[in-house]
């Protein structure tokens, strides 16, 4: 594997009962590039993100993230890799409802022993400021709009400075205008940090902005255009 490769997927298969969702997927996303995964519902896009995040175990094949073969990592190492190197943005925001926006962003930093609490707090505050929520930091998710919640989720995904950012239909629960604004933000912040970006989307306009477009059909990669 090339050291410059952010994500590499080799011959990955995944089956849910009788349904084969991924059928020998091979994929390589260079570090710092933006790849958009498109395809119809049920084509295996979300499962691919799950496998790359290590939250879904493939039945066969291997996944390398920043050179780490995920099948060789134990539970603790996997958690550390996700915490430090992988940021994930979900379709339904997945914020913790009992916590404020600031506390949600701070969640992945709880076990960061490299920096002080004050530094982590400053980092989270700065990120919330960058996503335009400097005056909404103490609000709970229920007090924020969908777009604002997704901005909090983006700040949370970036708070530990990951080299990989995964987004599973990040605009799926947002109206077009808000969705476009959120994606612009995601791209801008990803690019500014030279983050490898793998985004699942239905929206071809969004996909058009990517460095790579990966089209999936029936669990296979149909086309991978650079």
Stretch that binds another protein, among 40-48, 179-187, 205-213, 216-224 (CB under 8 A): 40-48
In the complex, what is the shortest distance from the CB of residue 178 to another protein, in angstroms, rounded to a whole number? 17
Stretch that binds another protein, among 2-10, 27-35, 61-69, 74-82 (CB under 8 A): 74-82
User: How many residues sit close enough to another protein to count as binding (CB under 8 A)?
Assistant: 43
- What strands, in cross-sheet order, belong to the sheet with 60-65? 19-30, 5-16, 60-65, 68-69
Q: CB of residue 226 vs another protein: minimum separation in angstroms? A: 25
Beta-strand ranges (E) seen in the chain are: 5-16, 19-30, 34-39, 60-65, 68-69, 86-89, 164-168, 196-200, 212-217, 220-225
Task: Examine residue 123 and tell whether it contacts another protein (CB under 8 A).
Answer: no
Q: Which is nearer to another protein, 1 or 55 (CB)?
A: 55
Among all chains, which residue has been given the structure tokens 């983006």?
A: 154
* 172 contacts another protein (rule: CB under 8 A): yes
Q: Which stretch binds another protein (CB under 8 A): 61-69, 168-176, 188-196, 216-224?
A: 168-176
Please report whether residue 46 would count as binding another protein according to CB under 8 A.
yes
49 binds another protein (CB under 8 A): yes
Using DSSP, state whether 221 is helix, strand or coil: strand
Residue 163 C-beta-side C-alpha neighbours within 13 Å: 15
Give the C-alpha separation, 224 to 203, whole Å. Answer: 16
Q: Which two tokens stand for residue 69?
A: 């073969």
Residue for token digits 């002080």?
Answer: 116
CA distance 93 to 154: 9
Binding mask 89-118 for another protein (x = CB under 8 A): -xxx-xxxxxx---x--xxx-xx-----x-
Binding footprint of another protein on the chain (CB under 8 A): 41-42, 45-47, 49-50, 53, 55-57, 75-76, 79-84, 86, 88, 90-92, 94-99, 103, 106-108, 110-111, 117, 156, 160, 168-169, 172, 200
């Amino acid at each position: 594997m090339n050291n410059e490769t952010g994500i590499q997927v080799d011959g990955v298969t995944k089956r849910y009962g009788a349904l084969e969702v991924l059928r020998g997927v091979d994929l390589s996303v260079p570090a710092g590039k933006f790849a958009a995964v498109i395809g119809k519902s049920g084509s295996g896009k979300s499962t691919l993100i799950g496998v790359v995040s290590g939250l879904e175990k493939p039945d066969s094949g291997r996944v390398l993230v920043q050179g780490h073969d995920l099948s060789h990592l134990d539970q603790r190492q996997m958690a550390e890799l996700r915490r430090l190197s992988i940021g994930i943005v979900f379709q339904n925001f997945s914020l913790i409802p009992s916590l404020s926006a600031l506390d949600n962003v701070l969640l992945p930093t709880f076990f960061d022993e490299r920096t002080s609490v004050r530094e982590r707090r400053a980092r989270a505050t700065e990120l919330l400021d960058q996503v335009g929520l400097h005056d909404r930091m103490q609000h709970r998710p229920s007090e924020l709009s969908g777009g604002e919640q997704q901005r909090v989720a983006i700040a949370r995904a970036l708070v530990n400075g990951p080299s990989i950012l995964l987004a599973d239909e990040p605009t799926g629960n947002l109206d077009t205008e808000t969705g476009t604004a959120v994606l612009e933000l995601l791209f801008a912040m990803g690019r500014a940090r030279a983050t490898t970006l793998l985004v699942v989307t239905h929206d071809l306009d969004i996909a058009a902005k990517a460095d790579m477009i990966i089209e999936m059909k029936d669990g296979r990669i149909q086309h991978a255009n650079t």
